[in-house]
Structure 1
Amino acid sequence: MSSWSDYIPQVLKFEKKLGEDKKAVTVINEYNKMYSHGSESEQDRALWESEKGKDAVSDFYNLVSDFYEWGWAQSFHFAVIQKGEPFEASLQRYEYMLPYRIGVERGQHLVDLGCGIGGPLRNIARFARCKVTGVTISKYQVERGNELNTQLNLEDSCNIVHGDFLNLPFEDETFDGAYTIEATCHTMEKTKVYSEAYRVIKPGCCFAGYEWCVTDKYDPQNKEHREAKFAVEVGNGLPDTATFDQVVGSLKEAGFEVLEYYDASKYSELPWYYPLKAGFSVKGFRHTRVGHYFTHITVTTLEKLGIVPKGSAEVSRMLIKAAQDLVHAGELGIYIPMFFFLARKPEKPSAQN
């Protein structure tokens, strides 16, 4: 079993880019300006989808990836959790559902839209005996993810490339399937990103994923609901969050046949936000209020000693608040990170004689 000391080296390891540029506070301030008037107006929509908006998301993940890896796992997502189940097991089972539902066969090639540092794609490649290429807008995640691929001798089956999932750097009909795990929530242009998935997979192949959505319980006229939703978006690098109907509608607009969709959180024996409220254990400790406090004090001290880059404590503070805001929205029942969908690109029409 891992001990607390196993994670200390990860606290001490921060991004090369961040260490060189010393820009953490600047990035956070610029990122927060994206939300100065809310994220739902046409003006803010245009800003979010602009190059400046994309740079904000990229910088956000350049900053927080090491924090996520240390405090969560190499898979930056939630999962359906059963009672008594190890957290890592729930993450893997959640990921394994995707190649199973897509129907990928051994040796085929999948694309992961918004892959982070590649935890899911490595698990999926090993589980399904397939190849997976991941795309992320964060250059740091490309570097870190491919470093891990090499360390695990998976470079022949796993690869991460730098790119924008609104304009994928691949030819048409390249892949045997596509998936996304809590990543396309970072754009309001749902039809556009789904259209790119449609373009790069072969006819008859499937696209599956998990989306962050507001639920049917969300009431935009309710002040507490609006504030909780907005807090989640600010703390997690998100624009305006989609509804279930918007996700399904955008898939259809992109040309997909929508085979299935549902709120996966209803199949979880424990609340989806449970890991953020985990009890005292070696791994769960990091998610408790005491664990948050201990982590933040550690990072603050290391920053004062010059061991970690300036601004690291501000990132830590931002992420602690983000976790608390997610729990609040989850408890209100207005937000989920696991709206599952399965869609298929139609077969090409048969040639007429």
Structure 2
Amino acid sequence: MSIPDVLKYTKQNGELDATPYIEEYNTFYQHGYESIEDRQLRQSQKAKECISSFYNLVSDFYEYGWAQSFHFAYLQKNEPLACGLLRYEYVLPWRMKVQPGSHLLDVGCGIGGPLRNIARFARCKVTGVTISPYQVARGNQLIKDSNLEEQCNIIYGDFLKLPFEDCSFDGVYAIESTCHTMLKSAVYSEAYRVLKPGCYFAGYEWCITSKYDQNNEKHRQVKFNIEEGNGLPDTATTEEVLEGLKDAGFELIDAYDLAEYLETPWYAPLSASFSWNGFRHTRLGHYVTHISVRFLEKLGIIPKGSSQVSKLLMNAARDLVEGGKLGIYTPMYFFVARKPVAG
């Protein structure tokens, strides 16, 4: 994907100015990390609508600047990002004991990069659900382009109220998506409801770690910056994740922070030290992309406000690196849980 292709959503809908979306988005974070009012607003119904618009806007940037899989990776030394992304995804059907022909649900699927990879790898069917109309359209087009229409599909829906019958799926997974709600018991309960008894729910959560100090002003600021740059209402602790799974009725099989076992830090692709092959992921790459976006915006090739989106994501990458280096933030708290047979 080339830079002139970014923000296809706004072009396709005849909306040539993304600025109003950015201005509305900024209101959810306008008072800083100390604001209880802002935090409550970010967990409201209005915020849900704003996050939908956020992903309509940023998905093309993610696809161009990262990959079609919107998540971090388990990277080995000198390994291409694409390889690490696949390994990260393939762990899920393996730990969920997925059998060929099974039907899985991807909760918060983005444009379906993991969904398509898992369908091929595990020889199964995968349905994805996302709150972003643009991601539904883009994802289903990529499924068609990949000749995977018999195995995959993406629909519009809210993971707090999934549009499926009880006991519909042989497995459910969520890759760095349920961080967009602090209602862990509620979102996990929906996964529990649509899952068949005896089957598994697995995923990766964004969490603050035990190193996070609520009394440390720098820690609070970095945490807030990450949330602002990634459309998050707040960030859960690992204990809150485990409590949410228990409250939903799951049997916990395993849970740990994968970030503690990595040969290459999870934030390495976002740092300036990453290899030339991953140039677009580096800080310099972000800067070059940002300058290019500003130039194209001035020429009228891409919508107004595109450079504001680019700046938001560039800052988000910087803050994620900072959170990773401090050891206070992880995007890969892994869990696998089972719905009891008698559930």
Common fold, TM-score beyond 0.5? Answer: yes
Note the C-alpha offset of 1:39: 6.9
Give, as a single letter, the amino acid of the residue that structure 1 aligns with 2:156. H
Q: Which runs of 5+ in 1 are unaligned?
A: 1-6
Secondary structure of 2:121's aligned partner: helix
- State TM-score, norm by structure 1: 0.93
Q: How does 1:180-195 map to 2 (within 5 A)?
A: 180-195=174-189
Cα contact 2:268–2:274 (8 A) shared by 1: no
Cα contact 2:7–2:302 (8 A) shared by 1: no
Note the C-alpha offset of 1:79: 1.4
Which one of 87, 91, 96 corresponds to residue 90 of structure 2? 96
C-alpha distance in 2 between matches for 1:17 and 1:149: 18
Q: Which runs of 4+ in 1 moved over 6 A?
A: 39-42
Structure 2 residue aligned with 1:232:
226
Which one of 226, 236, 239 corresponds to residue 245 of structure 1? 239
- Alpha-carbon displacement from aligned partner over 1:211-237 (angstroms, at most 9, x marks no partner): 000000000100000000000000001
Structure 2 residue aligned with 1:200:
194
Structure 1 residue aligned with 2:248:
254
CA RMSD of aligned residues (A): 1.6
Q: Residues 110 and 330 of structure 1: is their aligned pair in 2 closer, same or farther, counting only changes over 3 Å?
A: same
Which one of 1, 5, 16 corresponds to residue 13 of structure 1? 5
Give, as a single letter, the amino acid of the residue that structure 2 aligns with 1:186. H
Cα contact 1:39–1:240 (8 A) shared by 2: no
Which is further off, 47-56 or 275-284?
Answer: 275-284
C-alpha distance in 1 between matches for 2:204 and 2:108: 12
Give, as a single letter, the amino acid of the residue that structure 2 aligns with 1:308. I
Secondary structure of 2:158's aligned partner: coil
The number of residue pairs the alignment matches comes to 341
Which one of 262, 287, 292 corresponds to residue 293 of structure 1? 287
Give, as a single letter, the amino acid of the residue that structure 1 aligns with 2:114. P
Note the C-alpha offset of 1:138: 0.3
Which is further off, 123-132 or 289-298?
Answer: 289-298
Note the C-alpha offset of 1:27: 1.1
Cα contact 1:39–1:239 (8 A) shared by 2: no
Establish whether residue 275 from structure 1 lines up as the match of residue 269 from structure 2.
Answer: yes
Give, as a single letter, the amino acid of the residue that structure 1 aligns with 2:130. T
Q: Which runs of 5+ in 2 are unaligned?
A: none
Secondary structure of 2:196's aligned partner: coil
C-alpha distance in 2 between matches for 1:40 and 1:164: 29
Note the C-alpha offset of 1:51: 2.5
- State TM-score, norm by structure 2: 0.96
Cα contact 1:15–1:140 (8 A) shared by 2: no
C-alpha distance in 1 between matches for 2:212 and 2:235: 11
Structure 2 residue aligned with 1:4:
none
Give, as a single letter, the amino acid of the residue that structure 2 aligns with 1:131. K
Cα contact 1:286–1:292 (8 A) shared by 2: yes
Which is further off, 197-206 or 81-90?
Answer: 81-90
C-alpha distance in 2 between matches for 1:128 and 1:267: 25
Q: How does 1:41-56 map to 2 (within 5 A)?
A: 43-44=37-38, 46-56=40-50
C-alpha distance in 1 between matches for 2:100 and 2:283: 44
Q: How does 1:40-119 map to 2 (within 5 A)?
A: 43-44=37-38, 46-119=40-113
